[in-house]
Structure 1
Amino acid sequence: MNMVESKMNCAQSVLTAFCEELELDKATALKLSRGFGGGMGRTGKTCGAVTGAFMVIGLSESKTAREGVEAVYAWIQEFTRRFNGRYGSTECTELIGCDLSNAEGLSRARGEGVFTKICPDIVKSAVEILEQIR
């Protein structure tokens, strides 16, 4: 999965990795998740790989509506626990060491190759954690 060449953000990369399994149209998945890159619209907040994982969890099957909510919350909490165990944070700015909410931080991230050196590993980890907990 080469997210940089495909022009996908981290949320899109995670969500589309599960399109077939979730019976989700890839074009819809790309549209749904496009605003979540860069820590949610380049605000540097929650990492796109994390928000993409939360979308996957939310779309996963459950037995009843109430059980579904409880299962989703439990899976999200477990995902977050494991992700934090690997990275110490779910915040984009902390994970990549650049604040994407301003032009200087975005320029630095691009110049240092953050999107090719750091983000793909984070996406891969998010997918791996999802595969383990679901």
Structure 2
Amino acid sequence: MKEIEEKAVHSFYNGMNCAQSVVTAYADYLKFDPDMALAVSNGFGGGMGKMQKTCGAVTGSFMVLGIYNSKKHPGNIDARNATNEMIQKFTANFTALYDSLDCKALLNCDFTTQEGEKEFLDLDLKKNICSKCITDSIKLIEVLTEE
């Protein structure tokens, strides 16, 4: 999974948002169209439409878990139930690490303002928070898919 982490972080630093970087990093591993994944996850960065709600690394992870279970379980209801269970476990584990799923709380700044944008850049939160949320999300996915 280290390769997936590296691919995701590389994508994040090269123009993809946090959700896109997580989802597309799994395209080869789970054998799905990376262009479609890029498009579907487009509006989830910056906490869903840059509203600083649920972290994009988290929503991207939820998408990956859905794809994983859709490939693993032949029926939609089975896939959905397995996905819901994994999302609940993921949420508990991510919250144990970061105390929140909320982008604004994770960053402790409002990057929708000029002051917040400056703080985001000055504190290098992209590196110090966002990239860690991405790699930790991938680690959590790995644990859940190995159970």
Q: Same fold (TM over 0.5)?
A: yes
TM-score (norm 2): 0.84
Alignment match, 1:100: 111
Counterpart Cα distance in 2 of 1:124 and 1:12: 13
Instruction: Give the 3-state SS of the residue equivalent to 2:41 in structure 1.
Output: helix
Q: How many residues align?
A: 134
- 1:58 deviates by 1.2
Counterpart Cα distance in 2 of 1:6 and 1:41: 19
Alignment match, 1:125: 136
Alignment match, 1:33: 41
Percent identity of paired positions between Structure 1 and Structure 2: 37
1:16 aligns with 2:27: no
Instruction: Give the 3-state SS of the residue equivalent to 1:6 in structure 2.
Output: coil
Which of these residues, 76, 81, 86, is aligned with residue 65 of structure 1? Answer: 76
Q: Which amino acid aligns with 1:112?
A: L
TM-score (norm 1): 0.91
- 1:52 deviates by 0.2
- 1:3 deviates by 4.0
Counterpart Cα distance in 1 of 2:38 and 2:121: 22
4+ residue segments displaced more than 6 Å: none
Residue ranges of structure 2 left out of the alignment (5+ in a row):
1-8
Q: Which moved more, 1:112-121 or 1:124-133?
A: 112-121
Which of these residues, 48, 62, 65, is aligned with residue 54 of structure 1? Answer: 62
Q: Is the 8 A contact 1:2 1:120 kept in 2?
A: no
Alignment match, 1:44: 52
Counterpart Cα distance in 2 of 1:48 and 1:96: 12
User: Which aligned pairs between 1:75-86 and structure 2 lie closer than 5 A?
Assistant: 75-86=86-97
